Structure 1
Amino acid sequence: MDNKRRTYGQHLTPIDIFKKYVLPKIKNDIYKYKWIDLFAGEGNLILPILEIIPKKERVDFFKNHIFLFDIQKEMVDKCIRNAINYGIPEKIAEKNIKTRDTLEVYPKSILNDNLPVYHITNPPYLYIGYIKKHKETQKHLKYFEGENEGYQDLYQIALMNDLRNKIDNMIYIIPSNFLFGNSGTNKIRDDFLKYYYIKKGIIFEKEIFEHTGVNVAILFFKRKSQPKDEIQFFEGLKINHIIKKRNYNLNPKNHYRAGSEFDEFVNNYKANTPLKIKYYLTLEEVENNKGDNELMAIDANNYKGSSYKKLKISVNDKYYNKIKSNNLWIRTVDTGNKDGRAGIYLINKSFKTDGILVTKAKYRTHPIQIFIEPTLSRDKQIILMDYFNMILEYFRDKTDSEFLTTYKYSNSEYTRKYLGLSQVKKLIETFPLLNLNECQKNEFINIIKCKNTNKLLEFVKSLKNNEGIEKWL
């Protein structure tokens, strides 16, 4: 079964998910539609509808209202057996539950009567990068040819098939990167959300499938009367350690990406003279700059017990000054407790050393030393650290950390997130210190010391094209 999952990208939906989050939203309309699932698996997203149909009406309801398909015959056989368990005769079940590759050939026959189609599905998820790398999945490359060129995942092909066949109503369980992803999902959002609204969404930041850690969302789609690029608003229910309501707005200018406020800030407010940064202190660099100056470093590749191994390094004067004058490091992964959030910290305070040495491979999840040009004094580095962490936490709070990548499911007090190194670089590049006169610097530092994030954002934004700068002089 594991091989089947990897080959087809199939993750079976627990019946409880359907009964709790989908059935209550559709139960008043069940006689109005033809209910279909083109990737039905065992039928868990449609067949439980029969539970609310009186037994004497179930067979007729099934004949007229339920149509299921799957590419795997063994799944279809299970689906037929499940229908029989609901009281549907085998011959009738076999007529409406079929083996078919619906990604390749859309079953247009289901569109040919008076009842409109309502598609509820958990389509296959299989990223094109994975498909290309594995012999057993390369047969799926055919789906990405012709009009589907440029899409990045099988579920995106499923969405576009429904769009092209003018399906008005759909409920999809798909990776939540459809909402929050960047390059891999910009095209599908641009193309699809021109034609569809998201009526509501249920976003999971906890495991709901047994064999995958993919974050998923249940999204309710409604086709627009006319295709149009416009800002969309929808209410979402976000489920992790707690359940909370979130309001989302999707702007076509940002490829309809949810949680894009962080990206908008770092892209729009890059300093005119940004700091330049490099990551990692490597063993190769230390070997190439040997000298008589001793420093203490942690070995980022050697973590045992509850701490990193410490070691002495000896370097020349130039490299000694470089290491000593760069005392910041980046934690890219939340530890799960409130004192271990991703952010920038002081090396000598965190580790009681001068540097963080990479002795083997570079890992983005290890502590990483940051090297800054031009060199900043220790006091200015602390200002940068506080600035970075204030802005980061502001956007984490504003977007519920949705611009970050979920790292791992855990029982920690908040959902652990990963902060990308490109995101670190972009946020540091908004630090405006090099562009300020003395009066502005004093005001800027004052705002940071007072921990006034709203005023800090206002200050940074006022520097854009020197608009409103007079108020800070």
Structure 2
Amino acid sequence: SFPRFLINQNLPLFHITNPPYLYLGYIRKHKETQEHLKYFKGKNEGYQDLYQIAMINDLRNDIEDLIYIIPTNFLFGSAVSNKFRLDFLKYFRIDMMFIFETKMFDYTGTNVCIGFFKRKQKPKSENIEFNGVKIKNNERILEMAYILKPQFKYRAGSEFYEFLEEYKVQTPLKVNYYLLKKEVMSCKGEKKISVIDANKYESSQYRRTNLLVNISLKHSIESNILYVRTVDTGSFEGRVGLGIILDDFNVAGIYVSGNTYRTHPIQIFFEPEISHDEHGLLKDYFNFMLEAFREKLDSEFLTTYKYSNAKYTRKYLGLTQARKLIQTFPYKKLNYEYKKMLFNLIEKKDFDKIILFLETCKKEGN
């Protein structure tokens, strides 16, 4: 609890601290940290990290000024931060932020930021605008201007989310993830199909195996040739995006024999079925648009994965983000001429004209 004698002084209080940050998912999985689960009960239910408990405690104790060293996923995180940002930033504005995309502490791989927070005169859900300084891992310094919007849960990179909302097609592709063991077991047959097992990573590669399935599941696997890589590897060839399973793994499918993990390569299944050529065009469109927004917004709409010595800050692409970007692909409008036009625009890396192309499809009814 907050020291009452400080509150009773009736003096301006600044709380300057580097609180513990430990993610709830980690706490649950490790016996040595499970004693901290008590902090996430009652009025704190729904929060996802110990630092959030510390900050919300200051909010409840009417502290006016906060200077906190906290994970950068306060700005960039999705599920890990959405509820907390909505609750906290109704009461506080951000005056300034220093963001470190380089290693600061010996005992954590988490990138951190220093945030300067000031309590609002009245609670209000409104845009929050502030300036930030970003220190990159190559010692490059960027000055950034941020606008956090409540309709996007105050997450940085709102321009990307505005694009997803603006250009979602009327009848988007339905996206399903994972080739699960229960589906394979319920569709046994005599048709052999080669897969990698996403749960068996051995000697720097996924174990290859053959499944015996019925003709319907074999067709479904072979008709859906794309997978999503959700975590940057650190190399420029291994950035998040869509890939072709056969090209990258030399098999037809990606099988999940155990638990699903969002950081594994994940096969994507589409409804309605689209051709292999359309899969290829979707891959190129998706990866180009994703990289264009990463360059434009310094990847701030993606969750920071963890610190590394890579030449760029490794990021995580959420499956919801991937689904929503796929849903801007106007597959129903892609006759031969439109396919050729979109392919050429991607080849030319013409972002602005692709936006105009999407506008045209939208006006025609996509």
Q: TM-score with structure 2 length normalisation?
A: 0.83
Aligned ranges 1:212-227 → 2 under 5 Å: 212-224=108-120
Identity of aligned residues (%): 51
Partner of 1:107: 6
Letter in 1 for 2:299: S
| C-alpha separation in 2, matches of 1:368 and 1:135 | 30
| C-alpha separation in 2, matches of 1:180 and 1:211 | 21
| C-alpha separation in 1, matches of 2:344 and 2:235 | 29
Q: Is 1:360 the counterpart of 2:258 in the alignment?
A: yes
| C-alpha separation in 1, matches of 2:259 and 2:82 | 32
CA shift, 1:154, in A, is: 5.2
Q: Is 1:244 the counterpart of 2:144 in the alignment?
A: no
Contact residue 67 and residue 115 of structure 2 kept, 8 A = yes
Contact residue 106 and residue 161 of structure 1 kept, 8 A = no
Contact residue 293 and residue 299 of structure 2 kept, 8 A = yes
| CA pair 252-324 structure 1, distance change in 2 beyond 3 A | closer
Aligned ranges 1:187-202 → 2 under 5 Å: 187-202=83-98
| CA pair 262-110 structure 1, distance change in 2 beyond 3 A | same
SS in 2 for 1:444: helix
Structure 2 portions without partners, runs of 5+: none
Q: Is 1:136 the counterpart of 2:32 in the alignment?
A: no
SS in 1 for 2:238: coil
CA-based RMSD: 3.4
| C-alpha separation in 1, matches of 2:46 and 2:187 | 47
CA shift, 1:388, in A, is: 0.9
Structure 1 portions without partners, runs of 5+: 1-100
Partner of 1:393: 291
Partner of 1:65: none
| C-alpha separation in 1, matches of 2:165 and 2:121 | 34
- String of CA shifts for 1:13-45, please: whole Å, max 9, x gaps: xxxxxxxxxxxxxxxxxxxxxxxxxxxxxxxxx
Contact residue 73 and residue 304 of structure 2 kept, 8 A = no
CA shift, 1:368, in A, is: 1.9
Letter in 1 for 2:141: K
| CA pair 192-227 structure 1, distance change in 2 beyond 3 A | same
Partner of 1:175: 71
* Greater relative contact order structure (CA < 8 Å, 6+ sep): 2
CA shift, 1:324, in A, is: 2.0
| CA pair 462-121 structure 1, distance change in 2 beyond 3 A | farther
CA shift, 1:329, in A, is: 1.4
Contact residue 233 and residue 248 of structure 1 kept, 8 A = yes
- String of CA shifts for 1:68-105, please: whole Å, max 9, x gaps: xxxxxxxxxxxxxxxxxxxxxxxxxxxxxxxxx417x4
Contact residue 386 and residue 448 of structure 1 kept, 8 A = yes
| C-alpha separation in 1, matches of 2:205 and 2:49 | 40
| C-alpha separation in 1, matches of 2:65 and 2:165 | 36
CA shift, 1:341, in A, is: 0.9
Task: Specify which of 199, 202, 208 is matched with residue 310 of structure 1.
Answer: 208
Letter in 2 for 1:118: F
Contact residue 65 and residue 119 of structure 2 kept, 8 A = yes
Q: How many residues align?
A: 361
CA shift, 1:196, in A, is: 3.9
CA shift, 1:406, in A, is: 2.4
Q: TM-score with structure 1 length normalisation?
A: 0.66
SS in 1 for 2:145: strand
Contact residue 64 and residue 119 of structure 2 kept, 8 A = yes
Contact residue 273 and residue 435 of structure 1 kept, 8 A = no
Aligned ranges 1:296-307 → 2 under 5 Å: 296-307=194-205
| CA pair 375-192 structure 1, distance change in 2 beyond 3 A | closer
CA shift, 1:273, in A, is: 1.0
| CA pair 274-122 structure 1, distance change in 2 beyond 3 A | same
CA shift, 1:377, in A, is: 1.3
SS in 1 for 2:352: helix
| C-alpha separation in 2, matches of 1:316 and 1:265 | 40
Letter in 1 for 2:7: K
Name the larger-Rg structure: 1
Q: Which stretch shifts more, 129-138 or 223-232?
A: 129-138
CA shift, 1:316, in A, is: 3.4
CA shift, 1:387, in A, is: 0.9
| CA pair 300-294 structure 1, distance change in 2 beyond 3 A | same
| C-alpha separation in 2, matches of 1:165 and 1:449 | 56
Letter in 1 for 2:155: R
Task: Specify which of 346, 349, 362 is matched with residue 451 of structure 1.
Answer: 349
Partner of 1:372: 270
Contact residue 131 and residue 141 of structure 1 kept, 8 A = no
